[in-house]
Structure 1
Amino acid sequence: MLIVVDALNRHQFRAMLAEAARRRQLCQPSDPGDDALDRCNPAHILCLDDAGQVVGGLRLMQTTGPHMLSDTRSALMADQVPLRSARLWEVSQFWADAPGAAPMLLTGALDYARRAGVLDLVALLDAPTDRALSRSGPPLYDYLGQPRDGLVAALVECSAQQIIRLRARFRLDAPEFADTDTALAHFGKSRRPAAKLDASAALAAWCDEQIATADDPHERAAAEALRLELSHLIDGAPRRRCKA
């Protein structure tokens, strides 16, 4: 499941964004984490697995304003002029922690950007994500500048043909974005507290098992006596004791 979080719905997804940031730093401990660009109202695409866990994400920013290749990671451009165009978006904070999450996220980003009129994405990828997306088959993108600090800049065409190529290579269905209510309910599955153990019922079941599996009358009598001793814990009755 993919979810788009932007300036309009960010207030509803604070917990999910916080969880995504925590998981991303576990996957990419060298990543500096939150930076000033996060306050420029970027869009995030997050990926949830069947259990409602956040297993990947990326950040989308317009290149007409501040972005990583023009500011915090300009060294990746190897002294080239920073890319700026209303029809070019930057992908950063790209991480994936589940099989298939990386191509699903890239497909979703391409589809989302293409529908917004964007022609190309420039994606900042770490080495593991680059390998996951480059595995088998012809290249999906061109590289810009020079690799630096474990990152590469990849230029990806936002076209229907590119999306079809990506889906065919990784055997993906067409990307579907969940609405807010569906996404929050699905994420909530992984955050619900575990059901409390019924200690009384568990204790009663254990006592009954000891009685049922007794090997001889003496052992059965001892199990029944224990059941009686524990009756106040099992059914709330006053403590009862076996007669000596």
Structure 2
Amino acid sequence: MAALDVAGVSHSYGQKKALDDVSFSIAPSTFTVLLGLNGAGKTTLFSLISHLYNTRHGAIRVFGHDISQTPGEALRRLGIVFQARTLDLDLSVFQNLSYHASLHGIGSAEARQRINAVLDTVEMAGRLGDKARSLSGGQMRRIEIARALLHRPPLLLLDEATVGLDVQSRAGILANIRRLVAAEGISAFWATHLIDEVDEGDHVVVLDEGRVAADARVSEVVRATGAKDIGEAFAKLCRKPSATGVERST
């Protein structure tokens, strides 16, 4: 069973089509990159997968559960890190995570155990009492990842999780997610516009102006496009002229 199956999904904002017959699937226990320029439709797709928007055309299934027909079962299997910061800055790390645990029906004693465990996982142990506003951008992102892991979902969605962070913070967060996939067997679906966040062994879904331009292992995409690397392949696959200046983290 696929961790995520997207079949024939289209979505429009008025007359503007943001997604056009998007189809792909990702296997369990894998790290998959959704690669696309800004405006390619990545956030719209994530909004549909997370049921912020209703799916009117096509189907989305999370471990076999249709997000439109059985949203509770599908969402229970998702951990989501949105692009925008979503921590309550006036609450402590513990309070932010405890509130999320209560939304998932996790009792206080178990919640504390899970909170300690996920903070250790994201290398933020010992920060329970810190106010969220006292944390750096990278630390806030780690707490948001910890929060997404609290209910032990088998699939993580991360929408531009390193946006606005420095190189060291980006590398640390990305490495942490890759370790989770390897150690815990979860699946991660990582949306980015940065070529540097793609490894040769990754499965990559290239989204260009709302359409799937490639869906394969990175090495296969490079070979199929006759490129020397994924950066050059991405530039060839994207129709926007700006794609020739592929963005890399600096």
Instruction: Answer 1 or 2: higher relative contact order, Cα 8 Å, separation at least 6.
Output: 2
Compare CA radii of gyration and give the structure with the larger one.
1
TM (norm. structure 2) is 0.28
